[in-house]
Amino acid sequence: MRRWAARIDEIEPFRVVEMLARARELEAQGRNILHLSAGEPDFSTPAPICEAATAALAAGHTYYTPAAGLSALRQAIASWYHSHYGVEIAPSRIFLTPGASGAILLVAGLLINPGDGILLPDPGYPCNRQIMRLVEGEGQLVPVLAADRYQLTPAAVNAHWRENTVGAMVASPANPTGEMLDLNELCRLWRELQRRDGHLIVDEIYHGLEYEKQAPTILSVTQDAFVVNSFSKYFGMTGWRLGWLVAPDWAVAGLEKLAQNLFISLSTPAQYGALACFEPATLDLLNERRDQFRQRRDYLLPQLRRLGFSIPHTPAGGYYLYAGIEKFGISSEQFCIQLLERHGIALTPGTDFGSHLADRHVRFAYTTSMPALEQTVARLQKLYL
Ligand SMILES: Cc1ncc(COP(=O)(O)O)c(C=O)c1O
């Protein structure tokens, strides 16, 4: 019987990955491609992390670890919450996962009964709704406005809450917009969810990549929310596949069972490598990189505005610019295909992130060098000015 499950027909591809594959194909044909599509830092993993992982391999640390992760790493993450945010988190509430992706799967598996809905901002990170579908739930897309910096507000939660809704998931800073929720906004959102006895999941994967002020964690507001995070972005470890989930106490026993069955263990060398993430020398290097991201944002944003892209606010973090393309009178997918095929610029169409005005937006990821950004602007300028 060559038939897959019905859910697979409802799960959409992650277009950015397809765009990336096409960009690589063109590159293999000898074309010069400017990559502004991947949500992956162009900097490789800092040396102290690689060295710690290599030393662990040399010492024979090649076996499974506990399903929730190495206790030393859970402790190191707990200490990070203390030193960085001033919040106390028991290491027992921290689960290492295969990237933030694994943390989203874990929390979805924990919370969602068949038919349950989770409110998700549109535009937002596309895999969330596919993962909700995988566990027989439903991502309920809520159109969010530039005026609200594309974030979910209590009023929007109120307006879109349905009978089957059990919670909401937000990201701060967000993908694709780079917009952040401040402490007051997190408090108000939490109050609204609490009033409805709903869950709140906050994806904090872009923490560390914030350019004016530090992103507050929801854990400063409540110990009852779920936090998704990762070593992929700020720590520069995309390919190592390591992230984490912070869960309320009541959820720990359920998550233990799920983690044992889904993952058995996380990559052992990756976990030993990650122990070096919180050392001062590594953090100095990461903060230098963050400053470079800020410089790139500060260069690219005014240039794109000058060329006619509409970007109403300066995003506070992440490494994305979510740009309106109304001026060019073409759909976002057509725009991205033309730019890639004819002019060698890889972007991501807004349609990857939802449906609300998606066709009129594209995402620029400034995960490439300043010279590449300058070339991008030069190529766009020839086309559009
Ligand atoms: C908002 C958000 N959450 C989660 C992820 C998944 O990250 P990873 O599994 O590499 O940690 C990404 C990746 O781009 C993201 O942008």
For the record, the structure tokens of 231 come out as 């070593």
Helix (H) or strand (E) holding 363: strand 361-365
125 and 185 belong to one structural domain:
yes
> Measured from the CB, is residue 348 less than 6 Å from ligand 1?
no
- Residue 372's CATH number: 3.90.1150.10
Contacts 24+ apart (CB under 8 A), 211-217: 211/290, 211/293, 211/294, 211/297, 211/316, 211/317, 212/316, 213/316, 214/84, 215/172, 215/173, 215/180, 215/316, 215/317, 216/85, 216/181, 216/182, 216/183, 216/186, 217/81, 217/85, 217/87
169 and 261 belong to one structural domain:
yes
291 and 227 belong to one structural domain:
no
CA–CA gap between residue 145 and residue 253 (Å, rounded)? 38
Determine the Cα angle at 146 with ends 16 and 360, to 5°: 45
Q: Is residue 220 part of a domain?
A: yes
Q: What is the 3-state secondary structure (H, E, C) of 249-261?
A: HHHHHHHHHHHHH
Give me the amino acid identity at 214. Answer: Q
> Measured from the CB, is residue 368 less than 6 Å from ligand 1?
no
Domain range enclosing 83: 63-278
Last residue in a domain, options 235, 250, 278: 278
> Measured from the CB, is residue 217 less than 6 Å from ligand 1?
no
What is the crossing angle of helices 370-384 and 280-307, to 10°?
10
379 and 357 belong to one structural domain:
yes
Which 3 state secondary structure label does DSSP give 378? helix
Q: Is residue 55 part of a domain?
A: no
Last residue in a domain, options 248, 278, 308: 278
Last residue in a domain, options 278, 305, 334: 278
> Measured from the CB, is residue 171 less than 6 Å from ligand 1?
yes
pLDDT band, very low/low/confident/very high, at 92 (cuts 50, 70, 90)? very high
Among 101, 228, 234, 363, which is best to mutate for testing ligand 1, by the most ligand atoms less than 8 A from CB?
101
Q: How close is the Cα of 129 to the center of ligand 1, in Å?
A: 13
CA–CA gap between residue 374 and residue 384 (Å, rounded)? 15
The CA-atom distances, in angstroms, between 5 and each of 90, 132, 134 are 40, 15, 10
Among 107, 130, 170, 230, which is best to mutate for testing ligand 1, by the most ligand atoms less than 8 A from CB?
230
> Measured from the CB, is residue 39 less than 6 Å from ligand 1?
yes
Q: Is residue 58 part of a domain?
A: no
Q: How close is the Cα of 123 to the center of ligand 1, in Å?
A: 15
> Measured from the CB, is residue 124 less than 6 Å from ligand 1?
no
Q: Is 212 exposed, middle or buried (0-12, 13-18, 19+ CB in 10 A)?
A: exposed
pLDDT digits (tens, 9 = 90+) for 210-251: 999 999 999 999 999 999 999 999 999 999 999 999 999 999
303 and 253 belong to one structural domain:
no
The pLDDT, as a whole number, for residue 17 is 81
Q: How close is the Cα of 98 to the center of ligand 1, in Å?
A: 11
The count of structural domains within the chain is 2
Q: How close is the Cα of 101 to the center of ligand 1, in Å?
A: 6
> Measured from the CB, is residue 172 less than 6 Å from ligand 1?
no
21 and 145 belong to one structural domain:
no
258 and 287 belong to one structural domain:
no
272 and 298 belong to one structural domain:
no
pLDDT band, very low/low/confident/very high, at 18 (cuts 50, 70, 90)? confident
pLDDT band, very low/low/confident/very high, at 385 (cuts 50, 70, 90)? low
* Ligand 1 atom 16 nearest Cα: 175
User: In 3D, which of 3, 43, 12 has the Cα closest to residue 237?
Assistant: 43
CA–CA gap between residue 170 and residue 26 (Å, rounded)? 35
The pLDDT, as a whole number, for residue 294 is 98
Phi, then psi, of 2 in degrees rounded to 5: -90, 70
Q: Is residue 288 part of a domain?
A: yes
Helix (H) or strand (E) holding 110: helix 99-111
pLDDT digits (tens, 9 = 90+) for 309-336: 999 999 999 999 999 999 999 999 999 9
Q: Is the pLDDT of residue 361 over 70?
A: yes
Helix (H) or strand (E) holding 139: strand 138-143
> Measured from the CB, is residue 205 less than 6 Å from ligand 1?
yes
155 and 109 belong to one structural domain:
yes
Nearest ligand 1 atom to the CA of 101 is: 9
196 and 85 belong to one structural domain:
yes
The pLDDT, as a whole number, for residue 19 is 81
Q: How close is the Cα of 217 to the center of ligand 1, in Å?
A: 17
**Average pLDDT of 31-55?**
95
Q: Are 293 and 308 in contact (CB under 8 A)?
A: no
pLDDT digits (tens, 9 = 90+) for 155-172: 999 999 999 999 999 999
Q: How close is the Cα of 14 to the center of ligand 1, in Å?
A: 12
The CA-atom distances, in angstroms, between 121 and each of 80, 142, 315 are 28, 5, 16
139 and 234 belong to one structural domain:
yes
Q: How close is the Cα of 171 to the center of ligand 1, in Å?
A: 10
- Residue 258's CATH number: 3.40.640.10
Taking the CA atoms of 211, 214, 219 and 221 in sequence, report the sign of the dihedral they define: negative
Residue with tokens 């295909």: 337
CA–CA gap between residue 107 and residue 112 (Å, rounded)? 8
Give me the amino acid identity at 131. Answer: I
Q: Is residue 51 part of a domain?
A: no
Q: How close is the Cα of 376 to the center of ligand 1, in Å?
A: 25
Residues in the chain: 385
pLDDT digits (tens, 9 = 90+) for 260-301: 999 999 999 999 999 999 999 999 999 999 999 999 999 999
Among 95, 106, 128, 175, which is best to mutate for testing ligand 1, by the most ligand atoms less than 8 A from CB?
175
Q: Is residue 50 part of a domain?
A: no
Q: Is the pLDDT of residue 198 over 90?
A: yes
CA–CA gap between residue 116 and residue 135 (Å, rounded)? 10
* Ligand 1 atom 14 nearest Cα: 39
Q: Is residue 197 part of a domain?
A: yes
315 and 268 belong to one structural domain:
no
Q: Is residue 363 part of a domain?
A: yes
Percentage of residues of the chain with pLDDT beyond 70: 100
Tell me the average pLDDT of the chain: 96
